[in-house]
Structure 1
Amino acid sequence: MNAEETFELWQKADNLPDYLQEQLDELGKDPKWVADAFGQDINFGTAGMRGRLEPGTNRINLFTVGKVTEGLARLIDENGEEAQKRGVAISFDSRYHSREFAEYAARILATHGIHVYLFDDLRPTPELSFAVRYLHTFAGINITASHNAKQYNGYKAYGEDGAQMAPENADRLFSYAQKVKDIFHIKADNVAKLRANGTLQLIGEDVDEAYLAKLKKVNIDTDLIKKNAEKLKIIYTPLHGTGKMLYDRAFRQGGFDNVIPVPSQSIIDPEFPTTIKPNPEYRDVFKPGFKLADEVDANVIIATDPDADRMGAAVRKEDGDFQVLTGNQIATLMAYYLLVHLKESGKLSNDYEIVTSVVSSALPFKIADDFGIKTKHVLTGFKYIGEEVDR
């Protein structure tokens, strides 16, 4: 079918939510929009899919989410009863319709007899990766558009290693999704029924505690923290997103008690009203943090994007102004600090390796050379670094 025929099919659908029907009626007046929204299927790659929250096959909405989830269900079915029992962990962020999409995906999978672990509320993306490994699930789903503007949402699929799904399975998932004939009537039993028969299970604090326990072990020099933490005053902003859920417990168990949240940006809000684009790499998102830092004489500002898998930081300089650090600068500082500690503690060996993407700074590699450890470039994307972790 061409774009116009597909558009007409959507117009005849009997179960579009009111908000989608209103958008379809209004946006459908523009032929260019129809051609773009219905002229192709939204791309699904190894990082999943991301697009504007609008009706259409080339957009993110309840039906494109359902189609891809049905593809995942068929992939899991293909892998047999063990894969079905291991199931899928699902999380979501603070964007419009994220909870709705996550619950719909859970219902589709559970209707297939696939065990689903659905977070009871929004959670940071790193916790979803942890949950996949902790619960030994076959896959994971995160409903998020990361640091994109408020008009967007997305769908990320994860493999059993907690990294984004490997290309082979991602391709098979997409192939199965393409075979779904009626995206408007994918079978999805109601939540009460699925919870009653045990295929849909809510998770939350139980996984939080396990995640935080692991996170506590990340600090490598607790003595240094004990000696200096009280001198450090930290401003934190979750940029209206999932970082708010665990930041206080994470900082405090790590030894940092003097952490002050930015009030205006600690409101969970899909409008992201304090910034045009909630990307912690951009200086403008720190403006409320700068103001608060000056009021309380803070040294550092830390920001996380709405799904809390991207961090930005600003540090006060000698002249009193703040410098926003780039991701490459943060990674370089972390790499140097870790290697210095390993060397001073006598734990450094040439078996260690720094892995970075081809688009990242080369400076960590120069540092690695000085410390006599190996280095490796991988393609852009967390999944490719994740593949190296277990090797």
Structure 2
Amino acid sequence: MSDSHKLYQTWCEKVDDPALKADLLAVANDEPEIGDRFYRTLSFGTAGLRGVLGAGTNRMNVYTVGAATQGLCQWLGKKYGDAAVAIAYDSRNNSTLFAQRSAEILAANGIKVHIFDELMPTPALSFAILHLHCQAGIVVTASHNPAKYNGYKVYGPEAYQLSPEEADEVLREIETVDYFGGIKTIPFEEGLRTGVIQYIGKDTVDAYIDAVLSEQVDKDICRQSPISVVYTPLNGAGNHCVRKILDRIGVETVAVVPEQEQPDGDFPTCPYPNPEEATAMELGLRLCERLGYDILLATDPDSDRAGVAVRHQGRIVRLSGNEIGVLMLQYIVERRRETGTLPKDPIVVKSVVSTKLCDRLAGELGVQVIDVLTGFKYIGELVAELEQKGEADRFLLGFEESSGYLTGPHARDKDAVNAAMIICEMTAYYKSKGKTLLDVLDGIYSVCGRYLNVVDSYTFEGEDGSVKMAGMLRALRAGAPSEIGGHAVAATGDYLSGKRVLADGGEETITLPESDILEYTLENGASVIVRPSGTEPKIKVYYSLSAATLEQAQQLYEQVSAGVKALLGV
């Protein structure tokens, strides 16, 4: 009998949750499914837990969430003694259950709990940690993943996600916990009655909204130059806060996509509720087209990512996360320079996989660019460091190509409520100048050259997929290519070794922390980055290419991507 089947039998004997018991019995004769559910323990890392809902050690359920929370309690007890934790959750299936179970376990371990009494965006959780002086935070969400997923993210006292070292420490505590006998708990209602669990009040939500508003660049522009907005929360947690912020900045004409307005963890109209995906935006695009509105805004289920489409020359055009990040940089610097509020030595922070156009434009604008590893916690960490030095005003913008943005120190994670405000501001500002965001982007290209950024993803589900992904990355490290798609490789960077090897045999040191990233710089300046996703069973390939025209950039992409596929064997 395999180890997986032994674990399966143990769970069948000990699980007392009726839904999970039925789930286990339903796969009794499905050995591959049993193997997938029990071949490993759902991994806990800097992004916490994320996985498919269901029974098993490799699934999101009250036992895996319970063990993670008990391990977190043990870590907090050793690190802080007395501690307080803030909890938020989104619209996903079982999010409320997992949030309340976490509160019950924290309370039983003598840890003060502050929990929102309604769905709330992830950035509001980050804000609440600072506002309520907590030592940690938990948000139950799987962000933009399909409906079968849920997740559990943990934040430290500085309100960004745990560092790799802290995550390892928590993991070691989790590994000591027995799913069925080692988790302390009290009833949620008892925690409320005794005061060890408290609901986070409206005053904290209002303070979060006020903090976002404090990051306005132009407080009057949306009233002076009215715009019309279609908004979709994609059945997630953004509806209340995004609509509140639009009202506060003076956007009066707002239509919400009716099929996607109310929370629904099944996401019936968008099976992949990611604002980067065309299918998720389809209903909003149709409504925007029918109403003739200026702009479409979409936020993912936990409202930390924002997607955008704009009306341009009679049609609705979607913009990528990279394009919005570059437009934000242009707008913030341009407008703050006009109003005399641009700080000395301004900074924009972006992930290494985000567009190189940002570097080119920042050079034109006189702004310093700081690259960090993928994961907004690294941007949040830098914001915290600036604030500790009294230099938070230098931080203009942090962004990732995956539609995550932040323009102030009020939160330490990407914030789609904040992004919605700035996007509407700059839309109104450029409208007052007779321009759309596409016009502004074309102006940037005319100065900096035509950039093309593409992300290709390759999915590898299950145990076999995990082994295959690891083998691909090992093969790439074993033999660095001299050319990709007919273009010579000028440098190969391996963020695990911390070395960048040049074509002439020279070496450079990569100063960022160790990470599972491979980077290829081609002789024509093109960049190709290969990395496994931290939250999904995928290998992602990021292309940042530039040429004189879009057609030439697309041709370059076709050549280089064909070479990458050959390298990966996909």
Give the equivalent residue in structure 1 for 2:525. none
Distance 2:28 2:79 in 1: 41
Q: 1:80 to 1:267 in 2, by over 3 A?
A: closer
Which of 210-219 and 289-298 deviates more? 289-298
Provide the residue aligned with 2:225 in structure 1: 228
Q: Cα deviations across residues 234-291 of structure 1 (Å, max 9, x unaligned)?
A: 0000000001122221111112111111111102111111112101011122222122
Question: Which letter does structure 2 place at the counterpart of 1:382?
Answer: F
Query: Is residue 101 of structure 1 aligned with residue 95 of structure 2?
Result: no
- Give the Cα separation in 1 of the matches to 2:361 and 2:87: 38
The amino acid that maps onto 1:237 is T
Aligned pairs for 1:168-247 (under 5 A) are 168-183=165-180, 186-229=183-226, 232-247=227-242
Please give the per-residue CA displacement for 1:58-110, whole angstroms capped at 9, x wherever unaligned. 1111100000000100011102334x2xx100011101110000000000001
Shift of 1:350: 4.9
Q: Which residue of 1 aligns with 2:539?
A: none
Bigger Rg, which one: 2
**Partners of 1:204 and 1:120 in 2: CA distance:** 8
Alpha carbons 2:232, 2:299 under 8 Å: kept: yes
Displacement, 1:36? 1.6
Question: Which structure 1 residue ranges, 4+ long, deviate > 4 Å from structure 2?
Answer: none
1:14 Cα deviation (Å)?
4.5
1:187 CA displacement:
1.6
**Aligned residue in 2 for 1:259:** 254
The question of whether the paired residues in 1 share the 8 Å contact of 2:51 and 2:149 is answered with yes
Contact 1:354–1:365 (Cα < 8 Å) also in 2: no
For residues 50 and 182 of structure 1, the distance between their equivalents in structure 2, rounded to whole angstroms, comes to 17
CA apart distance, 1:183: 3.6
Q: Deviations over 1:44-64 (max 9, x none)?
A: 110111100011111111100
Query: How far is the alpha carbon of 1:296 from its aligned partner?
Result: 2.0
Contact 1:64 1:183 in 2 (8 A): no
CA distance in 1, matches of 2:120, 2:189: 23
Residue identity in the other structure for 1:209: D
Q: CA deviation at 1:329?
A: 0.5
Structure 1 range deviating more: 242-251 or 183-192: 183-192
Whichever residue aligns with residue 252 of structure 1, its letter is: D
Q: Does 1:136 align with 2:133?
A: yes
Q: Is the 8 A contact 2:69 2:105 kept in 1?
A: yes
What residue number does 2:372 align with?
378
Given that 2:228 and 2:294 are in contact with CA atoms closer than 8 Å, whether structure 1 keeps it comes out as yes
Deviates more, 1:44-53 or 1:217-226: 217-226
Q: Distance in 2 between matches of 1:170 and 1:290?
A: 40
RMSD: 1.4
Does the 8 Å CA contact 1:90/1:140 hold for their aligned counterparts? yes
* Partner Cα separation in structure 2 for residue 194 and residue 234 of structure 1: 42
Contact 1:4 1:34 in 2 (8 A): yes
Answer yes or no: is the 8 Å Cα contact 2:217–2:336 preserved in 1.
no
In structure 1, the residue matched to 2:295 is 300
Mapped to 1, the partners of 2:350 and 2:181 lie a distance apart of 42
Q: How many residues align?
A: 384
Name the aligned partner's letter for residue 305 of structure 1: D
Q: Structure 1 length normalisation: TM-score? A: 0.95
TM-score, structure 2 as length reference: 0.66
Q: Kindly indicate whether residue 311 of structure 2 is the aligned counterpart of residue 310 of structure 1.
A: no
The alignment status of 1:321 with 2:315, answered yes or no, reads: yes
Q: Distance in 2 between matches of 1:70 and 1:117?
A: 17
Percent identity, please: 39
Amino acid at match of 1:46: T
Residues 350, 374 of structure 1: 8 Å contact kept: no
Determine the structure 1 residue equivalent to 2:448: none
Higher RCO (CA < 8 A, seq sep 6+): 1
Q: Give the direction of change, closer, same or farther, for the CA distance of 1:348–1:215 in structure 2 (3 Å limit).
A: closer
Residues 349 and 373 in structure 1, CA contact (< 8 A), matched pair in contact too: no
Query: 2:160 pairs with 155, 158, 163, which one?
Result: 163
Q: Using a 3 Å threshold, how does the CA distance of structure 1 residues 222 and 158 change in structure 2: closer, same or farther?
A: same
Q: Which runs of 5+ in 2 are unaligned?
A: 386-570
Q: CA deviation at 1:185?
A: 5.6
How far apart, CA to CA, are the structure 1 residues paired with 2:262 and 2:179? 39
Note the C-alpha offset of 1:134: 0.8
Q: Separation in 1 of the partners of 2:288 and 2:232?
A: 12
1:44 aligns with 2:44: yes
Structure with more strand by fraction:
2
What secondary structure is seen at the aligned counterpart in 1 of 2:331?
A: helix
Q: Please say if residues 326 and 357 of structure 2, whose CA atoms lie closer than 8 Å, have aligned partners that are also in contact.
A: yes
Matched-pair contact (CA < 8 Å) for 1:350–1:372: no
Q: Which amino acid aligns with 2:375?
A: G
- Say if 1:93 and 1:123, in contact at 8 Å, map to a contact too: yes
Quote how far apart the aligned CAs of 1:347 are: 3.4
| Deviation of 1:184 (Å) | 5.5
Q: Is the 8 A contact 1:75 1:176 kept in 2?
A: yes
CA deviation vs aligned residue, 1:102-155 (integer Å, no higher than 9, x gap): 000000001111000011111111101111111110000000000111100001
SS in 1 for 2:231: strand
- Seen in structure 2, the aligned counterparts of structure 1 residues 58 and 14 have a Cα distance that, compared at 3 Å, is closer
1-structure distance, mates of 2:141, 2:220: 37
Report whether the alignment pairs 1:366 with 2:360.
yes
